[in-house]
Chains A and B, each alone.
Chain A
Amino acid sequence: MAVEILKDKCIGCGQCFKSCPYDAFEFEAYDGNKLGKVAKINAKCSSCNQCLTACKFGAIQEVKQEAKVDLSAYKHIWVFAEQRQGKIQNVALELLGEGKKLAKDISEDTQICAVLIGNNIDHLAQECFEYGAEKVYLVQDPLLENFTTDGYTKVMKQLIDEYKPEIVLYGATHIGRDFAPRIAARCNTGLTADCTHLDVKVSKYIEFAKANTTLDTSTLDPNDTDTGIKQTRPAFGGNLMATIICPKTRPQMSTVRPGVMQKQEREVGAKGEIVNVKPEISKEDIRIEIKDIVKSMKEMVSLTDAKIICSGGRGLGDASGFELIKQFADKVGGVVGSSRAAVDAGWIDHSHQVGQTGTTVKPEIYFACGISGAIQHLAGMQTSNCIVAINKDPDAPIMEVADYAIVGDLYKVIPEIIAEWDNAEALYDATTK
């Protein structure tokens, strides 16, 4: 239980029951108040803390966890600078940008460091410096040429044991999500998956919560000096957001969704310190063999980098609808996206899918065409700068998150947008005269 009921304050009114998403409240007999009962928390409690602000009488109290190890021995923020075939993944650069901000929020002398693992990748260290890293741990060996769970886990554990970082951030990619859990298990520490927002300062967390959430922040103290990481992530298919902490163990680790954090402006010529580390690794450590790495023939979709995304859903009616979406995307200089329904129907490849089980995107403009807006889809695109929904159904959930909703037949509307696209400036000028 992360919360407890203070029996002497509880009046047995049951108002807190409504706040619980898990039905974890029940009554127990108690002869210290008028109603003769108090609230009790049962086994269904998943410690989500939603009830903390539910009691007007202050009978629900947070149970704080005490640290079990010396946390002060761990310092600095690390980013796993994931590279594939000698190319640093975008998410790693995003994390360097975010990590740098967090480091300075912890203290002036907290550094942001990149961990580069591979073979013949000396040149990538410079790229890490230019995107914000102050130090690069460089680990190279022919056995580390390609990612393997066994090889990379062993090296990361070696580094963590030797240099003791306070926080380690990984991209929530098919690689990060594969080996970060193993490292967490091996180091006996916590890992939070698929984070979409990170804070270290309580005051900044309060600011974030006030601006973006329904959270009642009255139980939080902006002057709290705690700088443990607060990792916010969607749960329950995006129906609920949870902020997770790792108060008792170090390092604190997160995987972070690609596309949600901001890269810093590239500082050409930036310098930093390189620490070469010799990996303690042998051929026997790696228990799998990579026979082949195949880049699929399918057209490369870079949804995470796209400024404009034109997405199609079930409302297209059939696979040929994506031809119109493609024309649309070509016209506006965008990339084709899709809902899960269109992927499941076999109309388009999974690599185009936006949403909880696809890619999270944050373009300047997101055109949702014939997409109803299932919560899982919304979870992957609702932070887009501007959302335009084109849908026949004015009551579709997508219309609620849209900045601009066009109620109509997408097969008629989209060709008109394509036709008028180049005239936008003239049209606007005409309205201002």
Chain B
Amino acid sequence: MAFKIIVCAKQVPDTNVIKINPKTGTLIRDGVPSILNHDDANALEEALKIKDKHPDTTITVISMGPPQASDLLFECIAKGADEGILVSDRAVGGSDTWATSNTLEAAIKKWEKENGPADLIFAGRQAIDGDTAQVGPQIAEKLDLPQVTYVEEFEIADNMKDITVKRQMEDGYELIAIQTPCMLTAIKELNEPRYMNMAGIFGAKDIKVWNAKDIEVDLTKVGLEASPTNVFRSFTPAPKAPGQVVAGDSENEQAKNLLIQLKGKHII
């Protein structure tokens, strides 16, 4: 029996290259590439490592997003995933994390109806565009699975049942034993994601696109209207009043002038 892994992934704008137009205060989107979210790449990599060791493992990547998000599934398959599923529908647009997890829950249930229960669900801890870290745990809740978030080390026993993980904490880690089926969320410390390989890039791509009807999701639980949270207002952060360059002909003078300023303003 094959070991079945589902990886939840998201296509995100590369927030590192987004800049603000100082005149209009809006985001400059031109030339901003869409990428596979960082933590999700770590989630996929850990699944691929299991498949390296146990070749009868299957990896299904599930994503929700606009039609062009299928690029991400191409990338995941080129790295070694078996299939990709994109849930794309106007009806799920504008979803907050609660509504997004309802959509992904429905998609996973639909997949499980056809393929049998998944043994392991991996997700990234959070996406770099929203940084919420909420969708992973919310999917786990809806599927009634135990979860471990912030996974920085992962090991599965040969019985393919007993898992030991290190969960990162602010001041150390917890060593946790958990059994399949479960949801784990990955952080960058977990591994180093691999590149796409030639065979993967040129090989066949099993990419499916499902709409809301395909996944039989309750339409009263998805999309903007159903989302418990809404955006009230959004804005760009105010630019700070300009500071001053500390003058001085030598480093010593600069240091002295700085300290005089700090002292004068009662900062030190």
Least distance between B179 CB and chain A CB atoms (Å): 8
> In A278-297, which residues have CB < 8 Å from any B CB?
287-296
Contacts of B265 in A (CB 8 A): 386
A215 at the interface (CB under 8 A from B): yes
Contact of A186 among B129, B141, B164 (CB under 8 A): B141
A92 to B231, CA, bound (A): 26
Please state if B233 and A182 are interface contacts (CB–CB under 8 Å). Answer: no
Please state if A47 and B137 are interface contacts (CB–CB under 8 Å). Answer: no
Contact of B134 among A181, A209, A245, A427 (CB under 8 A): A181
Of A18-26, A117-125, A132-140, A265-273, the one contacting chain B is: A18-26
Contacts of A241 in B (CB 8 A): 234-237
- Closest Cβ neighbor of A386 among chain B residues: B267
Contacts of A23 in B (CB 8 A): 29
Please state if B146 and A150 are interface contacts (CB–CB under 8 Å). Answer: yes
Please state if A424 and B172 are interface contacts (CB–CB under 8 Å). Answer: no
Please state if B141 and A2 are interface contacts (CB–CB under 8 Å). Answer: no
A428 touching B171 in the complex, CB below 8 Å, given contacts A249-B228, A365-B268, A401-B240? no
Contact of B149 among A153, A174, A382 (CB under 8 A): A174
Contact of B224 among A1, A180, A291, A295 (CB under 8 A): A1
Give B148-182 as 1s and 0s: 1 = Cβ < 8 Å from A's Cβ atoms. Answer: 11100000000000001001111111111111001
Please state if B150 and A50 are interface contacts (CB–CB under 8 Å). Answer: no
Least distance between A426 CB and chain B CB atoms (Å): 9
Please state if A214 and B238 are interface contacts (CB–CB under 8 Å). Answer: yes
Contacts of B90 in A (CB 8 A): 43
Number of A-B contacts (CB under 8 A): 307
Please state if A237 and B18 are interface contacts (CB–CB under 8 Å). Answer: yes
A46 to B99, CA, bound (A): 14
Please state if A364 and B267 are interface contacts (CB–CB under 8 Å). Answer: yes
| Main secondary structure on A side of the interface with B | mixed
A404 touching B131 in the complex, CB below 8 Å, given contacts A21-B27, A288-B176, A290-B174? no
B232 at the interface (CB under 8 A from A): yes
Least distance between B78 CB and chain A CB atoms (Å): 25
A403 touching B237 in the complex, CB below 8 Å, given contacts A182-B138, A191-B229? no
Contacts of B136 in A (CB 8 A): 181
Contacts of A184 in B (CB 8 A): 97-98, 134, 138, 228
Contact of B98 among A49, A185, A376 (CB under 8 A): A185
A243 touching B18 in the complex, CB below 8 Å, given contacts A43-B90, A364-B267? no
Contacts of B129 in A (CB 8 A): 235-237
Contacts of B140 in A (CB 8 A): 182
> In B85-115, which residues have CB < 8 Å from any A CB?
90, 93-94, 96-98, 101
A291 to B163, CA, bound (A): 12
B197 at the interface (CB under 8 A from A): no
Of B41-49, B50-58, B200-208, B252-260, the one contacting chain A is: B252-260
Contacts of B171 in A (CB 8 A): 295-296, 300, 351
Please state if A193 and B141 are interface contacts (CB–CB under 8 Å). Answer: no
Please state if B94 and A45 are interface contacts (CB–CB under 8 Å). Answer: yes
- Closest Cβ neighbor of B133 among chain A residues: A177
Give B108-130 as 1s and 0s: 1 = Cβ < 8 Å from A's Cβ atoms. Answer: 00000000000000000000111
Contacts of B29 in A (CB 8 A): 21-23
Contacts of B101 in A (CB 8 A): 185
Of B69-77, B210-218, B243-251, the one contacting chain A is: B243-251
| Main secondary structure on B side of the interface with A | mixed
Contacts of B31 in A (CB 8 A): none
> In A383-430, which residues have CB < 8 Å from any B CB?
385-388, 394, 399-409, 412-413, 415-417, 419-421, 423-425, 427-428
Please state if B228 and A49 are interface contacts (CB–CB under 8 Å). Answer: no
A29 to B246, CA, bound (A): 58
> In A173-198, which residues have CB < 8 Å from any B CB?
173-174, 177-182, 184-186, 188-194
Please state if B233 and A404 are interface contacts (CB–CB under 8 Å). Answer: no
- Closest Cβ neighbor of B263 among chain A residues: A428
Please state if B236 and A239 are interface contacts (CB–CB under 8 Å). Answer: yes
Please state if A413 and B254 are interface contacts (CB–CB under 8 Å). Answer: yes
Contacts of B16 in A (CB 8 A): 237, 374-376
A178 touching B244 in the complex, CB below 8 Å, given contacts A185-B98, A191-B229, A417-B255? no
Contacts of B234 in A (CB 8 A): 48-50, 235, 240-243
Contact of A193 among B131, B228, B251 (CB under 8 A): B131
Please state if A185 and B148 are interface contacts (CB–CB under 8 Å). Answer: no
Contacts of B172 in A (CB 8 A): 293-296
Give A6-46 as 1s and 0s: 1 = Cβ < 8 Å from B's Cβ atoms. Answer: 00000000000011111100000000000000000001111
Please state if B94 and A404 are interface contacts (CB–CB under 8 Å). Answer: no
The 9 closest A-B pairs by CB, nearest first: A237-B15, A190-B228, A416-B255, A190-B229, A287-B146, A428-B263, A181-B134, A185-B141, A193-B132
Using A174-B168, A185-B138, A374-B16 as known contacts, list a sample of 16 further A-B pairs with CB atoms less than 8 Å apart, ordered by residue number in A: A18-B24, A23-B29, A182-B140, A188-B228, A193-B131, A213-B238, A234-B237, A237-B16, A239-B27, A240-B27, A289-B176, A350-B189, A404-B258, A417-B259, A420-B255, A420-B259
Residues of A at the B interface (CB closer than 8 Å) are 1-2, 18-23, 43-50, 52, 65, 149-150, 153, 173-174, 177-182, 184-186, 188-194, 209, 212-215, 220, 230, 234-249, 287-296, 300, 350-351, 356, 364-365, 374-376, 382, 385-388, 394, 399-409, 412-413, 415-417, 419-421, 423-425, 427-428, 431
